[in-house]
């Protein structure tokens, strides 16, 4: 399917973003979010029941795949970052794993590893738009390319939030979210019943399934970077 594009674009000044819609702002992520705002302290009650998410339990496509339950004193020492509804977690260690997930309606006392940066949107950015943007190919690629280390590549959270982000108008962010919610739901129906995305690296996943996963990432990237005009698409759908 050929999607409509914007009438006017401008040079973003950022190589991996390229040209973007002329009315979209380009800002370092740190101007749009807070990060690592809340952490469990050493004085936390030892018997506090927590639900813990490690980096190995998060997938770029599948989100959080496993939650472990511990009492605080028996939990891994890295079980410290507090997450809230609307946050997005981005792995800052072993970044090649691309462990990124949006946090929506979390369980009480959900805690994630200190190996994640917990990204919390400020009032001028839609949490769901931000969640999609942080999953886009360009952003993920920047996180990986800016990581340091060979066997255990990592990026500081302060460096991560220096990466540029795009800020459409609020109503446009809402339209992008509605478009991607619908499209990814359709794609996820196709994905369901197929081998796990974790099988891709082993080469055992069928070619069609791999292509569907790649299309999902591509449609997210195109929408959040303005390569397609979702408002124009929605207008065509309504007129059909």
Q: Rounded distance, CA 15 to CA 147, Å?
A: 18
Beta pairing, strands 33-35 & 49-53: unpaired
Q: Average pLDDT, whole number, for the chain?
A: 91
Q: Where are the domains of the chain?
A: 9-239
Pick the CATH number of 9-239 from 3.40.50.300, 3.50.50.60, 3.90.220.20, 3.40.50.11540: 3.90.220.20
Residue 187 tokens read as 């794609």
pLDDT at 26: 98
What are the per-10-residue average pLDDT scores of the chain (240 residues)?
91 96 98 97 96 96 94 97 98 94 96 98 97 96 94 95 97 96 87 58 62 89 96 71
pLDDT at 189: 81
pLDDT at 194: 62
DSSP 108-168: TTEEEETTEEEEEE-TTS-HHHHHHHHTSHHHHHHHHHT-B-SSS-B--HHHHTTSEEEE-
pLDDT at 193: 63
Number of neighbouring beta carbons within 10 Å of residue 4? 14
Any idea which residue has 């992520």 for tokens? 29
pLDDT at 240: 58
CB 106 within 8 A of CB 134: no
Evaluate the CA torsion angle 117, 121, 125, 127 in order and state its sign: positive
**H or E element, residue 239:** helix 230-239
- Per residue in 158-177, pLDDT (tens digit) is 999 999 999 999 999 999 99
pLDDT at 239: 63
């Amino acid at each position: 399917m050929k999607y409509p594009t914007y009438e006017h674009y401008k040079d973003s000044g950022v190589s991996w973003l390229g040209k973007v819609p002329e009315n979209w702002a380009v800002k370092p992520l740190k101007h749009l979010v807070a990060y690592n705002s809340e952490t469990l302290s050493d004085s936390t009650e030892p018997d506090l029941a927590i639900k813990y998410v490690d980096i190995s339990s998060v997938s770029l496509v599948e989100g959080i795949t496993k939650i472990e339950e511990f009492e605080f004193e028996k939990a891994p020492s890295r079980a410290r970052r507090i997450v809230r509804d609307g946050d997005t977690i981005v792995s800052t260690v072993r970044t090649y794993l691309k462990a990124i997930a949006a946090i929506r309606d979390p369980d009480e006392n959900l805690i994630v590893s200190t190996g994640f940066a917990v990204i919390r949107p400020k009032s001028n950015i839609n949490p769901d738009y931000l969640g999609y943007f942080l999953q886009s190919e360009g952003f993920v690629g920047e996180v990986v390319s800016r990581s340091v280390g060979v066997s255990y590549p990592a990026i500081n959270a302060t460096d991560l939030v220096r990466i540029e982000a795009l800020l459409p108008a609020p109503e446009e962010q809402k339209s992008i979210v509605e478009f991607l919610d619908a499209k990814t739901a359709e794609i996820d129906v196709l994905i369901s019943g197929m081998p796990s995305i974790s099988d891709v690296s082993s080469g055992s996943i069928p070619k069609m399934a791999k292509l569907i996963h790649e299309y999902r990432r591509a449609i997210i990237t195109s929408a959040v970077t303005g390569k397609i005009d979702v408002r124009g698409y929605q207008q065509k759908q309504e007129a059909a």
